[in-house]
Structure 1
């Protein structure tokens, strides 16, 4: 269950007298700090909590509403933290391109820090030599174009298993959501760990908790002297419990690889997986001068799973949901797939480049259902001027890429699913077009774009090529519930339950 902001603030409501006694002191203290000369516009703030109460239970929606009043570049005061919120493509470009280096740091966030071994992962590590080293290792050994292509057989094998599993349903209702999660988890397990795991759904539950906690608001992060509130809510207990569960899982995986290597290597002529590669890097670290401990290995594994499983499976789920709600788009895509496949039993990765409408469907899905609606916060490493406003060193920046992707000044019929908009457009999602930023941009952009997109394209193409899908109990496709479950990643609230029928 997600932690809503109302739940977050409930302990504060229980101690009104304490807060009233502390407000004058804290308010006077904060007002004594000298501010820059020209700050961005900001909503009125409350003592102590500032604008925290205005985040609401769905922050990307609340922040868009505030931006409509205060502008695409506005300053929020989240407790003691100054947070610049960006809600336009031009402003995002200034942050992520013009001043990319200045904003390449990450703020220290309590929950990610606990779950990622002191922020030793790629996503949350502070900018510096350590981050550059681990990002380089991950790209070269897992996420380069050559490496992604080398995993083709894994993707195609798992996609074929999914298609066969759906076919065995005999026309009964299937939980497509669970099937997609299992597929993406299996692909990543084989690539990163060398094999799949029978307890995959237990691990999936841990990953769901992981994403939920990363999306939770920690009072202590923004108001350090109220960090006890997180303990009162049980947030610290949940985080520590999950961190231990994940740590035990990763330790078991690493030990399994260490034992296997002592016995003579991967076996069965298998190529080294990510853990093998990281163990080799660790072994060589003594000669390179780069400290590479076991916690770093576990943090990188965590990044690969958390960044690859939930975001990838949810994107395929959203795409299929939108096609079911929009039958003309479904028919057009099926026609393209049928024309390219020419009667073959499966779509292969060689076919994908000849499928512009498939690519348009996925772009439109990523626009409407941005996996991370709010990019992970950036932090300025120096004083800087942005859009004529003066920002102090340490100012955090949050880019509302969900709101930018639905900006009516950029997108015609911004809230409608219209893949055709991308057929004659050069706009892509690789971080060079700031009106579409599902994977971020610049130095801190997601390095796993090609890895994720390769799975998305292949799986969606084969699902739509092989089957017609209907909703259970005669519900029409247009009536499909698209309610969201908000965390770090926005997922479909209810699992996608469908009745498949073979097309041929």
Structure 2
């Protein structure tokens, strides 16, 4: 891999000291978790590959669900079982609650203001409270339900227009546009892209690039002495991407200040009011970073999950048939799924849960870091170790799941396991105090959009490919994208 080759070419005196220390056991902690023997200089970097979630899952089969790696000058703990995840995310949640911050996320000092990357603190609690109170509580979501219905109607209208021309729909891009406008209406009371056109491509690529760069193995994270060099240019590109989103937010903030508020108080109004009342807890930099978090994480994860769900349903015609039958029986053919319908559509919800099991939106969750030595399952984890929870591996663990690699929604018809962070066999949104705050919105939007697309259209795969030939390759980043988009032609159901 590129970063391994560069690492070998950037050998430093500090690395030499590290080799000597390793060879002679100087300062080596006792009773570390098991893991592969590290090579000089690069440690275990060569084992990560282009799809680290898969590589780490395979290594865990050899070394166990609590695995220790040496990555350049840093150390990492990889968690690959439900039991170990429960220990980290619930029983010792506070000890593991800090973040390991990739160097790329320091672009524009974003990590200093972001609710995703801030440590548990007063500022972090203030920002989480804003999210929980104004966007993701049950009452707030109920109040904004009409917005989500309107955006789903616009998605259907766009698909009908494409179907009339026999044009393929890029499912991921269409879902991204829908989610982007939903969030932008909640935050700014405006659409950021035309809901009836195939627009928003630039913004989707911008967010996708952010997720890929943030998840890409970066030499600077493994050899901190290289920060000033930025040999792969990751932080330079991230600075550009963040800057473009901050420019959009800045323009909208300035417009709002001139208008002195919106007709209907939205999240921007609330944030500006709070920043005037208590600028020490939240200022403009916090506000812009909050919006970056919402747009980057909220749009990408939802659109990716919907695209994977549609892909799996199209690959499995019997699942499509069962889903269509349930939808026709419960709400009627050709109707839009309402949020109040979700509980009456158990098979549809099973499809969503099975998608999140086998294609978790964030395969390694957001990385954590411990600031003090921790004892875990009888092992000693050294101070400063980053912690990766491989939910992709947990969701495919054959000791937990029968036919773990098969897409079988039926498995959840008789299972009480859910995605709310209480069942550690299925934690696509994480668990504990750092669980994804957008979970309540995601579990409303995903079944509504998926069910509506299934219930309103039949689908032809672009290019006449057979179901079994649908590309399933992954593009690894912080989020798990399809390497090649799902493009299908909608056929409206009369």
TM over 0.5: yes
Q: Counterparts in 2 of 1:132-147, with a 5 A limit?
A: 132-147=125-140
Provide the rounded CA distance (Å) in 1 between the counterparts of 2:383 and 2:232.
Answer: 32
Aligned pairs, number = 486
Provide the rounded CA distance (Å) in 2 between the counterparts of 1:330 and 1:305.
Answer: 31
Task: Tell me the residue number matched to 2:256.
Answer: 257
**SS of equivalent to 2:98:** coil
User: Pick from 271, 282, 305: which aligns with 2:275?
Assistant: 282
- Structure 1 108/196 Cα, relative in aligned 2: closer, same or farther at 3 Å? same
**SS of equivalent to 1:138:** helix
2:465 equivalent to 1:475:
yes
Gaps of 5+ in 2: 194-198
- Structure 1 341/449 Cα, relative in aligned 2: closer, same or farther at 3 Å? same
2:453 equivalent to 1:458:
no
Deviation at 1:330, TM superposition (A): 0.6
Deviations 1:64-90 (A, max 9, x none): 111111111111111222211111110
- Structure 1 115/92 Cα, relative in aligned 2: closer, same or farther at 3 Å? farther
Deviations 1:212-245 (A, max 9, x none): 1111222122211233552x32223212222322
Provide the rounded CA distance (Å) in 2 between the counterparts of 1:53 and 1:324.
Answer: 36
Task: Tell me the residue number matched to 1:354.
Answer: 344
Task: Tell me the residue number matched to 1:227.
Answer: 227
Deviation at 1:36, TM superposition (A): 3.2
2:36 equivalent to 1:28:
no
> Is the Cα–Cα contact under 8 Å of residues 49 and 223 in structure 1 kept in the other structure?
no
Task: Tell me the residue number matched to 1:127.
Answer: 120
Provide the rounded CA distance (Å) in 1 between the counterparts of 2:101 and 2:451.
Answer: 40
> Is the Cα–Cα contact under 8 Å of residues 378 and 396 in structure 1 kept in the other structure?
yes
Provide the rounded CA distance (Å) in 2 between the counterparts of 1:447 and 1:197.
Answer: 22
- Structure 1 482/108 Cα, relative in aligned 2: closer, same or farther at 3 Å? closer
Task: Tell me the residue number matched to 2:169.
Answer: 174
Deviations 1:147-186 (A, max 9, x none): 1122211111111111112112213323223211111111
Provide the rounded CA distance (Å) in 2 between the counterparts of 1:33 and 1:292.
Answer: 45
> Is the Cα–Cα contact under 8 Å of residues 11 and 229 in structure 1 kept in the other structure?
no
Answer with 323-332 or 18-27: which moved more: 18-27
Deviations 1:357-405 (A, max 9, x none): 0100000000110111101111223322111001233222111010010
> Is the Cα–Cα contact under 8 Å of residues 4 and 42 in structure 2 kept in the other structure?
no
2:73 equivalent to 1:80:
yes
Provide the rounded CA distance (Å) in 1 between the counterparts of 2:36 and 2:49.
Answer: 14
Provide the rounded CA distance (Å) in 2 between the counterparts of 1:118 and 1:329.
Answer: 42
> Is the Cα–Cα contact under 8 Å of residues 466 and 502 in structure 1 kept in the other structure?
yes
Provide the rounded CA distance (Å) in 1 between the counterparts of 2:71 and 2:108.
Answer: 22
Provide the rounded CA distance (Å) in 1 between the counterparts of 2:293 and 2:98.
Answer: 17
Q: Counterparts in 2 of 1:490-501, with a 5 A limit?
A: 490-501=480-491
Provide the rounded CA distance (Å) in 2 between the counterparts of 1:310 and 1:345.
Answer: 26
**SS of equivalent to 2:117:** coil
Task: Tell me the residue number matched to 2:196.
Answer: none
> Is the Cα–Cα contact under 8 Å of residues 107 and 235 in structure 2 kept in the other structure?
no
Task: Tell me the residue number matched to 1:488.
Answer: 478
Gaps of 5+ in 1: 1-5
**SS of equivalent to 1:101:** coil
- Structure 1 298/482 Cα, relative in aligned 2: closer, same or farther at 3 Å? same
